[in-house]
């Protein structure tokens, strides 16, 4: 099994992110997306962790299933929230026994009052340290070009990121819409002595209704992007908005690659069409159909 750190050392990587399904309907949607995206031959794929025992099982089953029945190289997400140190160590050992060598170590969102426990480890850097103690993992961490919503300010956020990236192998950013944000993030880390790969996260805006949700996730859509989408919608309706969103995501990818990004990481939301369209526009998979 390949380690993501080694893939990044060898050249650019192209990766997709999936959500573990919570129902039979979501399972069917995910299966279709995997069927459509596997031929693109991504460098690796990641599977998120929604928290709780059920999500733990779904993520484990999906990641190990990908490893054994597909050509995909999976990376498992794991969060500190809701687990003791011992539970996290047991999960890590379980993954190693299952053949999983790639891990995304996350702090996780704190639960609302009365809805679960925050966990014994409070920060992602502690989970990175635990993964290193277990051994055998290539470890990634999350980065936020605009700063994590819970950070007191951008400088503090960068300091937290530098601390965990110093012990990890690479970072993957939250999705964003301005290439300059990514450049500033990388330059800031460089000034702090961190030159490890930072993969930019990409998620096209394919509907006007998704804009508030993206802001709630800590990635507000800039006014210039909103203006282009609204203009497209006014002239061509929902289909035009979607097309414009894919076009802008493609432009962002081109800027990032020109700026030296070590690859691209696509947030798929378990859908395939937009990702395939961007791939084709970038010339990464020119022979693949974007229909379906």
Tokens of 81: 């929230």
Looking at residue 117, what is its pLDDT?
67
Please state the domain count of the chain. 1
Does residue 201 lie in a domain region?
yes
CATH number at residue 197: 3.20.20.220
The model scores a pTM over 0.75:
yes
Instruction: Name which of 13, 30, 141 is nearest 77 in CA terms.
Output: 141
Looking at residue 118, what is its pLDDT?
67
Does residue 173 lie in a domain region?
yes
Looking at residue 149, what is its pLDDT?
85
Does residue 190 lie in a domain region?
yes
Does residue 118 lie in a domain region?
yes
Does residue 216 lie in a domain region?
no
**Going residue by residue through the chain (292 aa), what tens digit of pLDDT does each one get?**
799 999 999 999 999 999 988 888 998 999 999 999 999 999 999 999 876 667 778 888 899 999 989 999 999 999 998 889 999 999 999 999 999 999 999 998 765 544 556 678 989 999 999 999 999 999 999 999 999 888 899 999 999 999 999 999 999 999 999 999 999 999 999 999 999 999 999 999 999 999 999 988 888 999 999 999 999 999 999 999 999 999 999 999 999 999 999 999 999 999 999 999 999 999 987 454 444 3
Q: Which of 17, 101, 126, 277 is catalytic?
A: 17
Cα separation, 228 vs 237, whole angstroms: 13
Range of the domain at 180: 4-205+261-275
Instruction: Give 28-41 as a 3 state SS string.
Output: HHHHHHHHHHHHHC
183: left (phi over 0), alpha (psi -120 to 50) or beta: alpha
Other Cβ atoms closer than 10 A to 209: 10
277 is catalytic: no
Length of the chain: 292
Residues paired with 267 in a beta bridge: 17
Does residue 23 lie in a domain region?
yes
Does residue 222 lie in a domain region?
no
Does residue 123 lie in a domain region?
yes
Looking at residue 111, what is its pLDDT?
56
């Amino acid at each position: 099994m390949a380690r993501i750190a080694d893939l990044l050392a060898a050249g650019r990587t192209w990766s997709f992110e999936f959500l573990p399904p919570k129902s039979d309907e979501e399972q069917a949607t995910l299966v279709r997306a995997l069927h459509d995206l596997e031929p693109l031959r991504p460098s690796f794929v990641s599977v998120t962790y929604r928290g709780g025992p059920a999500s733990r099982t779904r993520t484990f089953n999906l990641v190990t299933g990908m490893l054994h029945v597909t050509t995909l190289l999976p990376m498992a997400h794991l969060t500190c929230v809701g687990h003791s140190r011992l539970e996290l160590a047991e999960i890590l050992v379980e993954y190693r026994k299952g053949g999983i060598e790639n891990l995304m170590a996350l702090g996780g969102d704190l639960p609302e009052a009365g809805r679960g426990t925050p966990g014994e480890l409070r920060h992602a850097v502690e989970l990175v340290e635990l993964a290193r103690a277990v051994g055998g993992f290539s470890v990634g961490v999350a980065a936020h070009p605009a700063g994590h919503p819970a950070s007191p300010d951008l400088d503090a956020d960068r300091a937290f990121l530098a601390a965990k990236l110093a012990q990890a192998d690479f970072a993957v950013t939250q999705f964003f819409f301005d290439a300059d944000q990514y450049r500033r993030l990388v330059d800031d880390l460089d000034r702090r002595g961190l030159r490890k790969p930072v993969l930019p996260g990409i998620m096209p805006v394919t509907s006007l209704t998704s804009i508030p949700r993206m802001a709630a996730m800590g990635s507000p859509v800039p006014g210039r992007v909103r203006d282009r989408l609204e203009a497209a919608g006014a002239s061509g309706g929902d289909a035009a908005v979607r097309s414009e969103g894919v076009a802008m995501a493609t432009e962002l990818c081109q800027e990032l690659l020109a700026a030296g990004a070590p690859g691209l990481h696509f947030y798929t939301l378990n859908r395939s069409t937009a990702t395939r369209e961007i791939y084709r526009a970038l010339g990464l998979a020119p022979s693949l159909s974007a229909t379906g």
